[in-house]
Amino acid sequence: MNKILIALTIAGLTISCGKETQEVVTQEVQPAPVVSTPKNIIMIVGDGMGPTYTTAYRYFKDDPSTPRVENTVFDRHLVGMSSTYPDTHHNYVTDSAAAATALSSAIKTYNGAVAVDMDKQNVETVLERAKSLGMKTGVVVTSQINHATPASYLSHNDYRYNYNAIADSYIDNGIQADLYLGGGWKFFIREDRNLVEEFEDNGFNYIDSYQLLDSVSTDKPLLGLFGDKGLPWALDDTNKHRLSAMTKTATKHLENEDGYFLLIEGSQIDWAGHSNDIASAMGEMDDLAKTLEYLETYVKEHPDTLVVITADHSTGGVTLGVDGVFQWDPKVLRTMKQSPNSIANLLEKVDITTEYANSLFNFELTDEEISKLITVKNDTATAIKIAEVTGIEDARSGKEYDPFTVNNELYKAIKEVINARTFTGWTSSGHTAADVPVFAMGNNKALFNGYQDNTDIAKKIFTLLDNK
Ligand code: MG
Ligand code: ZN
């Protein structure tokens, strides 16, 4: 209503400029224009979700029986783009910690920094500001809850891989959130310290199974851990839409008179990108898309809510179309029911037959593809045996993140089959500097239109919080 009044007033001013406007203006500007500010703010990070991922997801979800390519929830809410570079001492390619600090605290910092600046001094995050204003706060992620992105909203540390210290800080520096959902048993239930019990001592409900998400009572703050570190790949999980399930619980738990700030992260899009695994990437994207579709409805029912979605960077340098061929074909991705990781685990244990391999991939492999898998498996096992006997390590061994094992070589061969089938290319096992898309829904979404830097996103959220 206010907006309409203001628009009318401005129109009136323009038309009657220099005439008898004075009276009209004073009448129509009652009450004074107030920029409305959202009651609830939901920030969503698709970790690693550069623009090629949302494009790939559109074609992955396309219904080939219709003449047009259907829009996705991402297409419906695209508003702008964001640059992602860290502090320029660190060139233009960011890691997730520096990018999350930019998104949480509006500052550029070094790769690895968790809500600390270049001098390793703590910087206030939007989640902390929201809490200090009396709002409820929460985080929902598919990684461990002390991983770089959530940690950069909840904690401060000079190095993202100090996982135990970051987990400890969730209690020791004062509990910052009313709800934590994600993975992390390894870091929260340790021999030296049981942080789950400490959360319970501080009045939290604790759940460790998705089944309890619907039934757990909303009268207490909530900690839910559902995996040792990150959750299983969406493709392999008991609930392939666990991010949307957790998000539904979170919105229900956080609703209150003073509003809430919620961080949601589709954490494992990035992990699929690092491992150049397009099948798992689409599984993670589908979970995030379901989350946005739920929030699309939620925002209609709660128009005082702002939802902002972006990525912290792009991962893997993924391309849709390779080697001069004008084609990208996601057909086999649409039928896959488990991740390449899980297929490798199962094929490692048995003699590979066409029938069994087809049942695992859930599409028909060619003879060439089958023999490639068998050869890789046998050759790797032989090379490892030779190395054991001779004591001379195979030239392919010695890389910590790319171990020379039957399992890992099979995993790589499976991904090669899928990348070749789909014409998917990868140029890196790391991040790239491409700008990332920005999406927004609900109250004040237009604030995020156009080009912006990742620090601008946090600046805008701080401004909205300060106007509350
Ligand atoms: Mg992340
Ligand atoms: Zn990454």
Range of the domain at 115: 3-32+40-319+429-466
Counting ligands in written order, the one closest to the CA of 149 is: 1
Neighbour-count burial of 193, counting CB atoms closer than 10 A to its CB (0-12 exposed, 13-18 middle, 19+ buried): middle
Same domain flag for 60 and 176: yes
Asked whether residue 397 is assigned to any structural domain, the reply reads yes
Residue with token string 């500007």: 29
Residue with token string 């902390």: 128
Distance CA 187, CA 204 (A): 18
Mean pLDDT of 102-121: 97
Checking if the pLDDT of 191 tops 60, the result is yes
Distance CA 107, CA 87 (A): 9
Task: Tell me, in angstroms, the distance from the centre of ligand 2 to residue 206's CA.
Answer: 29
Counting ligands in written order, the one closest to the CA of 100 is: 1
Q: What is the pLDDT of residue 35?
A: 53
Same domain flag for 214 and 291: yes
Pick the range with the lowest mean pLDDT from 25-39, 227-241, 318-332: 25-39
Task: Tell me, in angstroms, the distance from the centre of ligand 1 to residue 372's CA.
Answer: 34
Counting ligands in written order, the one closest to the CA of 111 is: 2
Distance CA 426, CA 316 (A): 6
Residues whose Cβ atom is located within 5 A of ion ligand 2: 270
Distance CA 408, CA 223 (A): 34
Q: What are phi and psi of 433, to 5 degrees?
A: -95, 5
Checking if the pLDDT of 21 tops 90, the result is no
Mean pLDDT of 85-94: 91
Task: Tell me, in angstroms, the distance from the centre of ligand 2 to residue 271's CA.
Answer: 6
Asked whether residue 411 is assigned to any structural domain, the reply reads yes
Same domain flag for 82 and 171: yes
Neighbour-count burial of 307, counting CB atoms closer than 10 A to its CB (0-12 exposed, 13-18 middle, 19+ buried): buried
Residues 6+ apart with CB under 8 A from 164: 187, 190
Same domain flag for 435 and 403: no
Asked whether residue 382 is assigned to any structural domain, the reply reads yes
Q: What b/e string do you get for 225-257 counting C-beta neighbours within 10 Å, with b at 16 or more?
A: bbbeebbbbbbbbebbbbbbbbbbbbbebbeee
Task: Tell me, in angstroms, the distance from the centre of ligand 2 to residue 302's CA.
Answer: 33
Distance CA 172, CA 165 (A): 10
Per-residue tokens: 129: 């500001």
Per-residue tokens: 431: 């991040």
As a whole-number percent, the residues of the chain with pLDDT over 70 amount to 93
Residues 6+ apart with CB under 8 A from 153: 100, 104, 115, 125, 126, 127, 139, 263
Q: How many CB atoms lie within 10 A of CB 204?
A: 20
Same domain flag for 299 and 378: no
Distance CA 360, CA 99 (A): 37
Task: Tell me, in angstroms, the distance from the centre of ligand 2 to residue 120's CA.
Answer: 22
Amino acid identity of residue 81, one-letter, is: M
- How many structural domains is the chain composed of? 2
Q: What are phi and psi of 260, to 5 degrees?
A: -145, 160
Q: How many CB atoms lie within 10 A of CB 353?
A: 12
Same domain flag for 418 and 436: no
Asked whether residue 325 is assigned to any structural domain, the reply reads no
Residue 6 binned pLDDT confidence (cut-offs 50, 70, 90): very low
Residue with token string 């049942």: 359
pTM: 0.91
Contact assessment for residue 101 and residue 123, using Cβ atoms and an 8 Å cutoff? yes
Same domain flag for 352 and 242: no
Same domain flag for 67 and 184: yes
Q: What is the pLDDT of residue 395?
A: 83
Distance CA 234, CA 281 (A): 9
Asked whether residue 85 is assigned to any structural domain, the reply reads yes
Per-residue tokens: 14: 């323009």
Same domain flag for 95 and 112: yes
Q: What is the pLDDT of residue 307?
A: 98
The dihedral formed by the CA atoms of 281, 282, 283 and 287, expressed in degrees to the nearest 10: 100
Taking the chain, what is the end-to-end CA distance rounded to the nearest angstrom?
19
Per-residue tokens: 86: 């860290």
Counting ligands in written order, the one closest to the CA of 182 is: 1
| Model pLDDT for residues 368-409, shown as the tens digit of each residue | 999 999 999 999 999 999 999 998 888 888 788 889 999 999
Mean pLDDT of 323-346: 97
Same domain flag for 300 and 348: no
| Model pLDDT for residues 351-362, shown as the tens digit of each residue | 999 999 999 999
Which CA distances in Å does 243 have to 105, 232, 278? 24, 12, 19
Task: Tell me, in angstroms, the distance from the centre of ligand 2 to residue 21's CA.
Answer: 58
Residue 247 binned pLDDT confidence (cut-offs 50, 70, 90): very high
Neighbour-count burial of 302, counting CB atoms closer than 10 A to its CB (0-12 exposed, 13-18 middle, 19+ buried): middle
Q: What is the pLDDT of residue 127?
A: 98
Q: What is the pLDDT of residue 3?
A: 41
Paired residues of 436 in beta bridges: 82
Whether 314 is a known active-site residue: answer no
We report the CATH number of the domain holding residue 360 as 1.10.60
Asked whether residue 324 is assigned to any structural domain, the reply reads no
Checking if the pLDDT of 171 tops 50, the result is yes
Q: What are phi and psi of 371, to 5 degrees?
A: -70, -30
Distance CA 351, CA 176 (A): 51
The single residue of 96, 104, 267, 339 carrying the catalytic annotation is 96
Contact assessment for residue 318 and residue 425, using Cβ atoms and an 8 Å cutoff? yes
Asked whether residue 326 is assigned to any structural domain, the reply reads no
Counting ligands in written order, the one closest to the CA of 316 is: 2
Mean pLDDT of 160-182: 98
| Model pLDDT for residues 401-445, shown as the tens digit of each residue | 889 999 999 999 999 999 999 999 999 999 999 999 999 999 999
Same domain flag for 435 and 460: yes
Same domain flag for 365 and 398: yes
Q: What is the pLDDT of residue 10?
A: 39
Task: Tell me, in angstroms, the distance from the centre of ligand 2 to residue 320's CA.
Answer: 20
| Model pLDDT for residues 271-311, shown as the tens digit of each residue | 999 999 999 999 999 999 999 999 999 999 999 999 999 99
Task: Tell me, in angstroms, the distance from the centre of ligand 2 to residue 317's CA.
Answer: 12
We report the CATH number of the domain holding residue 136 as 3.40.720.10
Residue with token string 């809430």: 260
Asked whether residue 112 is assigned to any structural domain, the reply reads yes
Task: Tell me, in angstroms, the distance from the centre of ligand 2 to residue 274's CA.
Answer: 6
